A and B are shown apart, each in its own frame.
Chain A
Amino acid sequence: MKGRPLLVRLGAIGGRVDDSDLQRLRKRLLVYLCVMMGAGSLVWGSIAAYKHLWWAAAVAFGYAVLTATNLGYFHRTKDFACVQRVQVGFSLLLPFVFQWLLGGFAASGAVMLWSLAAIIGSIATADARQSARWMAVFVALTVVSGVIDPVVARHDPLLLACTRTSFFVLNVTATSSLVVGLMLYLLRERERMSDALAAANLRVVELNARLEDLVAARTAELRDLLARSRAIIDHMADGLVALDAEGRVQAANPALARMLFLEGDVLGRHARDVVPTRLDELAARAVASRCVESDEIALDGQRTAIAIASPIAEGEMGGRDLGAVVILRDVTLEREIDRMKTDLVATVSHELRTPLTSILGFAVVTQRKLEHARGGDDDALRRAVAQATSNLGVIVTEGQRLTAMVNDLLDMAKMEAGQMAWRREAIDPRALAHRAIEASAGLFLGRAVTLGHDLTEDLPTIAGDADRLLQVLINLIANAAKFTDAGSVTLRARQVAEGLELAVVDTGRGIARADHAAVFEKFRQVGDPLTEKPRGTGLGLPICGQIVRAHGGRIDVESAIGQGSTFRVTLPTGVTREVPT
């Protein structure tokens, strides 16, 4: 029990923390070799000393001392390569020297068996190449011993016979135990390694099985997810088609097939052979611009669809282009409802005109008749007539307001439906401005508000519908007059970079910033709806906006409460949108 810790302590000589298993094994074998051969040499030395062979005893004891020193050096420096070579060298050379001192090869050939331990040590602690070199040295020394044997031979048969037997037994036993020990050790190592290998193998198999389970589970999840995505796409009411960068169909859903009357499998086919040309072009446009693009597409069977194409890029924005995905929505019904709405507005406003004609007409005619009767003698009758005339005036004014609303509604409906017929003629802005001022002059009679103009020289000629643009200016001036109690309303015209700018500037109450966008909305009059009685249809500015936009221009407002307002219309002088008349 005490030997084991000693063995372990010895085995640790020359060891390093970072040694590999093989290095640790080699070092341990070297130390065991040293210890065993050192002990053996002490036995040799003792036998030699007993026979009074002092030189031979000195060599054997010297070997033991050198071995101990070498182990001490190894313990200190941990220089394995050096210690191993020195030890193998001693173990190889010294037995020969010892043998020669004992009387030569013939007298004590058994000693050289000891040198085999050096070769075994080198095999155990170094590689095959180094061991081969040591083997060569061993063979050379054996040959040399054979050659010089007659020179060193002595004639002392008693001594020779006695020592020969002792050394023979000692050396054969030592060398054999060394070989057996080494074999056993290596065998045990091999078993241990094969056990470790089997265990490792088992773990690999287990891991593999677990990995397979995991892959199967993930695959099932993925398949489920795919099936769900597929179901979502297949049940969309909108048609969907995804195209790759080359324009080939990557995915399509049943709604698309229904809308485009597609038959068979379209996957992998080029979009131009499958979808209408405009849809293909739209997708190409979306890929090129990297923006969402939309278009209206005519489908077979007199149906209309809105197509929206979005580019697909890999990863974040700026990734590789992967094509486009296009959504197709059938809007035939919506378009039909739009058309019906426009028709309804047109019909209603048309039907309203005949009763309006009678109401207004008879009111005016009656008013005229009463005016003739005013000059009567009867005071009471005169007062009654005056009252009736005034009342009829109210009917006429309100009737006119109703007419204006009908007109605005019809205009709005037609413009929204794109049914408005626009004229396109050369317009002199100066003449247009003067016409607007003339037409609006009546609004300023007897008021503390003046109507002025500020027109720069050389205004550019524009192309468009003069009557409609006049309508815009008159509307803007009327609005300004309505919301200005004192000061002035000025119609300004000048040339700007984008073309012609027409502006109506007033010194009125102004519009809060938050309401700027609302003034261009339909049926909106900004201000408090409870205290401020709405006047007009609420369609004036939206109609102005429609007209200006149809001319390729833009309308905006600059205003603040108490600061007056400036409504600005900018019209391009160049090409205006061509609208058939």
Chain B
Amino acid sequence: MTRKLLIVEDEAIIVMLLEQVLEPLRDEGVELLIANDGAEGLAMIRAHRPELVLLDGMMPVMSGFEVCRVVKSDEALRGIRVAMITARARGGERSATAAPDADHFFLKPFEPDEVLGYVRRVLGLAG
């Protein structure tokens, strides 16, 4: 069974960066799914049931905070880990208020190694 990881991010460059950061995981059987806005992201969550979602906060159509709220209030989807990537404020204070149920917060600019390490931990992959 392939492990699925969803990246929901409207900035193409950040998507590209995350793809490169997480590239090593492809060899370990992780499938990277990409969505370009919140609504598309939510649809893909429902369709593919990924194990982990890397979710940008500010996005067109539907914000990441909204997506997080929907996922965490849905019985069927609650088990999916959600990591917010925000530029809102330092230490995730404000983001924690906007999306209190998120499993983790990354503040832009994030450390590539940190993101990779976190994903590995969540997916139970050896470093």
Contact = CB atoms under 8 A, between A and B. Distances in A.
Contacts of A365: 17, 20-21, 112
B93 interface: yes
A350 B57 CA distance: 12
B109 A407 contact: no
Interface string B7-51: 000010110010011000000000000000000000000000000
Interface residues of B, number: 19
A357 B20 CA distance: 13
B60 interface: no
A354 B90 contact: no
Contacts of A357: 14, 17, 87, 108-110
Interface in A356-376: 356-362, 364-365, 368
Nearest to A350: B87
Contact of A421 (B13, B20, B93, B109): B93
Interface size classification for chain A: 20 to 34
Contacts of B110: 357, 361
A403 interface: yes
Contacts of B17: 357-358, 361-362, 365
A238 interface: no
Contacts of A410: 89-90
Interface string B85-109: 0011111010000000000000111
Interface string A337-361: 0000000000000100110111111
A354 B93 contact: no
A421 B87 CA distance: 17
B117 to A, nearest CB: 13
B109 A467 contact: no
A412 to B, nearest CB: 12
A506 interface: no
B88 A364 contact: no
A356 B108 contact: yes
Contacts of A354: 11, 14, 87, 108
A244 interface: no
B74 interface: no
B109 A399 contact: yes
B87 A411 contact: no
Contacts, number: 47
A407 B111 contact: no
Contacts of A362: 17, 20
Contacts of A359: 109
Contacts of B20: 362, 365
Interface in A400-446: 403, 407, 410-411, 421
Contacts of B14: 354, 357-358, 361
A359 B112 CA distance: 11
B19 to A, nearest CB: 10
B108 A353 contact: yes
A476 B74 CA distance: 47
A350 B88 contact: yes
A358 B93 contact: no
Contacts of B13: 358
A407 B93 CA distance: 13
Nearest to A468: B91
B109 A356 contact: yes
Contacts of B91: 467
Contacts of A356: 108-109
B113 A364 contact: yes
Contacts of A361: 14, 17, 21, 109-110, 112
Nearest to A366: B20
Of the candidates A359, A364, A403, A411, the one having the most CB atoms from chain B within 10 angstroms of its own CB is A364
Interface in A424-475: 467
A364 B89 CA distance: 23
Contacts of B87: 350, 353-354, 357
B111 A364 contact: yes
Interface string A385-411: 000000000000001000100010011
A362 B111 CA distance: 10
B119 to A, nearest CB: 14
Nearest to A369: B20
A403 B112 contact: no
A356 B113 CA distance: 16
Contacts of A421: 93
Of the candidates A350, A364, A365, A411, the one having the most CB atoms from chain B within 10 angstroms of its own CB is A365
Given A350-B88, A361-B21, A361-B110, 10 more contacts: A353-B87, A353-B107, A353-B108, A354-B108, A357-B108, A357-B110, A359-B109, A365-B21, A365-B112, A467-B91
22 contacts: A350-B88, A353-B87, A353-B107, A353-B109, A354-B14, A356-B109, A357-B14, A357-B17, A357-B87, A357-B108, A357-B109, A361-B17, A361-B21, A361-B109, A361-B112, A364-B113, A365-B20, A365-B21, A365-B112, A368-B112, A399-B109, A467-B91
